[in-house]
Chain A
Amino acid sequence: MSLENDPFLNISYSIINPYIEDWQKSNRKVVGYYCTYIPEELLHAAELIPFRIRATGTKDTDLADIYMVRFTCSFVRATLDLALRGNYDFLDGFLVCNSCDHSRRMFELFNLKVFNRENFNKKVPQFYLALPHVITDEGFEWYKKEVEELKEELEKAYQIKEITNEMLLESINIYNENRKLLRNIHKLRVQEKPKLTGSEFLQINMANSSIPKDIANQELNRIISALKSRKAIDVSNKKRILLVGSIVDDIDFTQLIENSGAFIASDFLCFGTRNFNDDVQLVNYDDPLENITKRLYYRLSCPRMMDDHLRRLDFLKEEINRAKVDGVLLQRINNCDLHGCDNMLFTHELKELDIPVLNIDREFYQSDTTRLQTRIEAFIEMI
């Protein structure tokens, strides 16, 4: 069975897709967001599609370069570029949290330059969540209030009488199911004889974040059945790689790696394990929103959480063993200080495990393909 041209995976190639168009035809709303730290279940319970903003396929950032200086993250610049060209006009809401300095500032730029464009007349409500940078009890209490306030803002903005606990519980179930399905697919990848490539896995994750979750779950079930009956991929002469770092939302990059003699057996990425590793634990049925926030806040972190590096390192170690990895590829998009510094520490720490590590920087769009390919090929050969 081939996943080539699978309609679900194909969603990952474009921004807007037929599911979104259908959804909006019946006057339902879509809210764009940047970061895995936002409470998707809450949006889902409000009958909104949380759409993870990406810039798949963008090749330059001419328009966005007017507003963002050149040492900003080219991924974020590319998303702004698309938005300035109208590709995100379908959004009915925009939610930003202070994940990193680059994406956080999209709050103002979308407000002033995207939603305020000439001839763009839609009123797009904007929401902001202030997320602590450390994991503490006090920080949790802070974030819980932020999420509660967001709930009220959503109710007001979209004239929802109340987002009830029942609605939230239902969303939790759907999202937990979704994460379980992704973990099951991930299992089919990490195994010795994998059923799918790292690039296919990335596509599945991207598509999953761009359509209603109920439909995504059906699609993931379909993909799992298909994968189970699929012949294993021959990776016997490939090196198994753990891919770590800045956002990857384009298979150009993963294919470049996988065409260089590697197989991406596991990852530590936003469109990957970071997003589905932890479930919402329903400890308190009277306050499902608290449970949602608990998962968000205490889950496997990304480097924006400054006191949680060791837990991230432990995760890498576990994945190295679990996916029987031959080497670790650390990458950052240029100007991404967060992943750049986390990767710096990983480089030294992983040396102690005697596992080959390559630490690279890259632009979001593949302007430096040859340089990257040469470095990756040399690394694979060295392993």
Chain B
Amino acid sequence: MVNRVEMENRIIPYKMLYEAVASTQGLVDGILPAHGIPSLKLGLGHIKSVMEDFIVKAGEGLPIIGHHFSFPTEYLYCFECVPVCIEATSYFLAALLPNGSEPYYDLITNWGHPFHTCSSQKGTMGMTLDDLFKFEAIITPTAPCDNTYASYPFFKYHKNIPLITPDLPFLKAEKSYRYHAEEIKLGLEKLGKVIGQEPNYNKLKQVLEVENQVTNLQMEIFELKKATPCPVENMFNVMAAAAQIYLAGREEKLEFYRQMLEIAKFRYKKKEHHAGEEKIRSIWPYMIVFFDLAMGEWLDRHLGMSILFDIFNYNFADPINTKSDLETLFYGMAKKAMEAPMTKQSAEFYYPFIETCVQLAKDFSADCFIFTSHLGCKQFGSVPQLLREALRDEVGIPMLLIDLDVGDARFASEKIIREKIKLFAQTLL
């Protein structure tokens, strides 16, 4: 007989997340007017119900599988399991808890994890060190960054958690997709053995079909953002990043995007801006600041600055062909994984990243770029100046560079960051 509480206690941080989501949602519902920040209201509602489901499933004894965000969550739904995204958990807690993930960052840093290594892993590593997570297995591609291959061995060698590592080549080429496809397949088979389940590829196909539909909706929203004013509020970027992971492959995700598309279309027709007036159109080619959930809304309201997109909202892979054989399926999965935000930019040279940014600036009439130079991301550590020069020479717009840790306010606080953006905005108006 399964001891439900004991089983649930394998994912204590998810319980914390559930509480945090529920109370934030309560607050949002209580304070905001009926039409206020719809992405936040809708997103939190969906995430809350999915979290609830995860906790129930953990209570029933389903295996807890950790994964890197570069291994798309939906791929794990060929198993009956509770997926836990290592990076998203650190950052979602950073966004929702009063002290963020700081106690867990400190725990693992005191254990020896270098201060400069990515906080997205640091948080969950700290939680695992403290046995708040009990993973049956963890799967991660060998990408997108040094932090990944450096930090994940902790789970294997210190916590003795089986670690499965489908290799992902740092080369954008046809042969890479084929190689990675085989690695994903072998990885899932290996994972199945560890947790005592056969991968159910029919179920996987269904989930991937949901994701294909989501991609179409995402593309429509993306196109609408070309309009002035941008018909989507800044908060959407945060919620989309969260939905990408927590709602992966589920009806809730489709529903979220359908609802957001309707709202965007409505605003587009009325030429309406969520917060009144759009004065500055910005592109954040990299990440937004996760520990300051309210920053997007502040930019909308106080500076009239739209964040047209961050890295999680302008990379779209082709839909995966689910109607053919398994080889085609895995090929599509590999391609999608390699086109995913951050993995794509990490595994190829800088040139396409810079080209994409220049093109986005032109197509979406951007006034400026804001590059959040995240302490962890060494693979992006030598692109900011190249990008700045390209934007200046080819589009004639400036870029603000901010050194920070997107998950830890102690490196650069929200006050400092907001102040920098405010001063930058003044130079634009």
A binds B: yes
Stretch of B15-23, B31-39, B45-53, B110-118 with 4 or more beta carbons under 8 angstroms from chain A: B110-118
When distances are taken between beta carbons in the complex, the residues of chain A under 8 Å from B156 are 307, 309
Give the complex CA separation of A95 and B170 in angstroms. 15
Q: How far is the CA of A349 from the CA of B167 in the complex (A)?
A: 27
Chain A residues within an 8 Å CB radius of B150: 303, 306, 337-338, 340-342
Asked whether B378 lies within 8 Å of A72 as measured between CB atoms, the reply is yes
Please name all residues of chain A whose beta carbon is closer than 8 Å to the beta carbon of B143 when the two chains form the complex. 133
Nearest CB on A from B425, distance (A): 22
In the bound complex, residues from chain A placing their C-beta under 8 Å from that of B157 are 309-310, 345, 349
Contact A335 B116 (CB under 8 A): yes
CA distance A342 to B112 in the complex (A): 10
Instruction: Knowing A72-B378, A108-B350, A109-B382, say if A338 contacts B146 (CB, 8 Å).
Output: yes
Question: Cβ of A86 < 8 Å from any Cβ of B?
Answer: no
Cα–Cα, bound, A336→B401 (Å): 22
Q: Is the CB of B146 within 8 A of A130?
A: no
Does B307 belong to the interface (CB within 8 Å)? Answer: no
Residue A215 interfacial (CB < 8 Å): no
Min CB distance B300 to A, Å, is 28
Is B80 located at the chain interface by the 8 A CB criterion?
Answer: no
Tell whether, in the assembled complex, residue A133 and residue B381 are in contact, meaning their CB atoms are under 8 Å apart.
Answer: no
Residues in chain B near residue A142, CB distance under 8 A: 167, 169, 179
Chain A hits for B186, CB < 8 A: 138
Asked if B26 CB lies within 8 Å of chain A CBs, one says no
- Which residues, 147 to 168 on B, are CB-close (under 8 Å) to A? 147-154, 156-158, 163, 165, 167-168
Cβ–Cβ contact A344 & B116, under 8 A: no
* Chain B nearest Cβ from A293, distance in angstroms: 16
A112 in the interface, Cβ–Cβ < 8 Å?
Answer: yes
Whether the Cβ atoms of A138 and B167 lie closer than 8 Å is yes
How far is the CB of B125 from the nearest CB of chain A, in Å? 10
Select B116's contact among A131, A340, A343, beta carbons within 8 Å: A340
Q: Contact: B116 with A134, CB < 8 Å?
A: no
For the complex formed, measure the closest distance between the CB of A339 and the CB atoms of chain B, giving whole angstroms. 8
Q: In the complex, are the beta carbons of B153 and A108 less than 8 A apart? A: no
B403 within 8 A of A: yes
* Contact assessment for A130 and B158 in the assembled complex, using a CB-CB cutoff below 8 Å: no
Give Cα A69 to B145, complex, Å: 16
B381 with A130: CB separation less than 8 A: no
Give chain A residues whose Cβ lies under 8 Å from the Cβ of B350. Answer: 105, 108
| A70 adjacent to chain B (CB < 8 Å) | yes
With A66-B385, A72-B382, A341-B113 known to touch, is A108 a contact of B349 (CB < 8 Å)? Answer: yes
Q: Which residues of A contact B136 (CB under 8 A)?
A: none
List A contacts of B179 (CB < 8 A). 138, 142
In angstroms, Cα B382 to Cα A310, docked, is: 32
B152 / chain A contacts, CB cutoff of 8 Å:
306
Decide if B124 is an interface residue (CB 8 Å cutoff).
no
Q: Check if B183 is an interface residue, CB within 8 A of chain A.
A: yes
Give bound CA distance, A145 to B147, whole Å.
27
> When the two chains form their complex, are residues A101 and B386 in contact, meaning their CB atoms are under 8 A apart?
no
Q: Which residues from chain A contact B163 at a C-beta distance below 8 Å?
A: 307
CB-based contact A138/B351 at 8 Å: no
Among B169, B182, B382, point to the contact of A68 (Cβ < 8 A). Answer: B382
Query: CA of A66 to CA of B382 in the docked complex: distance in angstroms?
Result: 9
Chain B residues 316 to 375 lying within 8 A of chain A, measured CB to CB, are 346, 349-351, 373, 375
Complex-state Cα separation, A234 to B151, whole angstroms: 41
Proximity bits, B81-94, A CB within 8 Å = 1, else 0? 00000000000000
Contact among B142, B154, B176, B375 for A71, CB-based, below 8 A: B375
Is A101 in contact with B146, judged by CB distance below 8 angstroms?
yes
Which residues on the B side are within 8 Å of A347 (C-beta)? 112
Q: Chain B residues with Cβ under 8 A from A130's Cβ?
A: 169-171, 176
Quick one: which of A122-154 are within 8 Å of B by CB? 128, 130-134, 136, 138-139, 142, 145
> B167 to A304, Cβ gap below 8 A?
no
Instruction: Determine if B410 is an interface residue (Cβ-Cβ < 8 Å).
Output: no
Contact with A along B402-416 (1 / 0, CB 8 A): 010000000000000
Q: CB of A348 within 8 A of chain B? A: yes
- Complex interface: chain B residues within 8 A of A72 (CB): 378, 381-382
User: Could you say which residues of chain A place their CB within 8 Å of the CB of B373?
Assistant: 69, 71
State whether B165 touches A70 (Cβ < 8 A). Answer: no
Q: How many angstroms between the C-alpha atoms of A335 and B382 in the bound complex?
A: 13
Given contacts A108-B350, A341-B150, A341-B154, 9 further A-B contacts (CB under 8 A): A73-B378, A101-B381, A104-B379, A105-B382, A132-B142, A133-B142, A142-B167, A342-B150, A348-B158
In the A-B complex, the 8 residue pairs with the closest CB atoms: A340-B114, A133-B142, A344-B112, A341-B150, A306-B149, A130-B171, A101-B379, A101-B378
- Residues on B lying within 8 angstroms of A by beta carbon are 111-114, 116-118, 142-143, 145-154, 156-158, 163, 165, 167-171, 175-176, 179, 182-183, 186, 346, 349-351, 373, 375-376, 378-379, 381-386, 401, 403
A residues adjacent to B (C-beta < 8 A): 66-73, 98, 100-102, 104-105, 107-109, 112, 128, 130-134, 136, 138-139, 142, 145, 303-307, 309-310, 332, 334-338, 340-345, 347-349, 359, 361
